[in-house]
Amino acid sequence: MDTTVLDLPAPTAVRLRRPGWRDPRLLVGLVLIAASVALGSWAVGAAQRTVPVWVARDVLAPGDALQPEDLVVADVRLGGGADRYLRADADLPPDRVVLRTVGAGELVPLAAVGSADALAVRPVAVPLAGPASRGLVAGASVDVWFTPSGADAVAEGAPADAAPRQLASALTVAEVSAPDGAFGTGGGRTVHVLVPVDDLPAVLAALAGDGVVDVVPVPGSGG
């Protein structure tokens, strides 16, 4: 007996079943989506979160004590770098001084704050014999030079030690003061420079010697 195509059984259509709520694959997918949304929300929130940080109102020089009146609070976005700066959501640490120059408007780094014992410089007052240079301001970097009283005779055979010589370089100006009643940029002013301990003997000897000590600003350091 011959079999024709019409005699073959018709194929049964396979119906796709819609996954139900108990399908493990659907549950895993939902968990992954929820985790991705939560992680994205946390990342955006962390990036936009601000923290209060202390900012220098004016220039802070090494040796300056930390005082609230010298600081202002700023809310800034620092992300993971917030721990590198002095936070303003806690009390100022007691008995702490500035270890390095902090510019006006600069966030106060934790590394720039410490105890007075950690200071390697000492303030020395240098009277100005003439007008103060324009860049001679607090926070500026300066070189200190000494000109012996006989330096003007070097060209006429004076000893070599009579020539002007540099005593120290890249010192920080802590303050520029003037006596009461003084004005303008004339003489009478005193520059307080922070001298490294190793350079103190030479600077103090020059101030006590017969000659002139000059404070020369490093260009561009006075803001």
Q: What is the pTM of this model?
A: 0.62
* CA-to-CA separations, 214 to 31, 51, 68, 153, 221, in angstroms, rounded: 73, 44, 34, 19, 17
pLDDT in tens, the chain (223 residues): 555 555 656 555 555 566 555 666 666 666 777 777 766 655 555 555 788 999 999 989 888 888 999 999 998 887 777 789 999 888 888 888 998 889 889 999 999 998 888 888 999 999 987 777 788 888 889 999 999 886 554 545 555 567 889 999 999 998 888 776 554 444 578 999 999 999 999 999 999 988 899 999 998 776 5
User: At 179, which amino acid appears?
Assistant: P
Nearest to 214 by CA among 182, 169, 181: 169
Burial class (CB in 10 A: 0-12, 13-18, 19+), 31: exposed
Residue 45, SS3 per DSSP = helix
- What is the spatial distance between Cα 27 and Cα 71, in angstroms, rounded to a whole number? 54
> Taking the CB of residue 131, how many other CB atoms lie within 10 A of it?
12
In order of start, what are the domains of the chain with their CATH numbers? 51-117 (3.90.1210), 120-217 (no CATH)
Here the tokens at position 44 are 């955006």
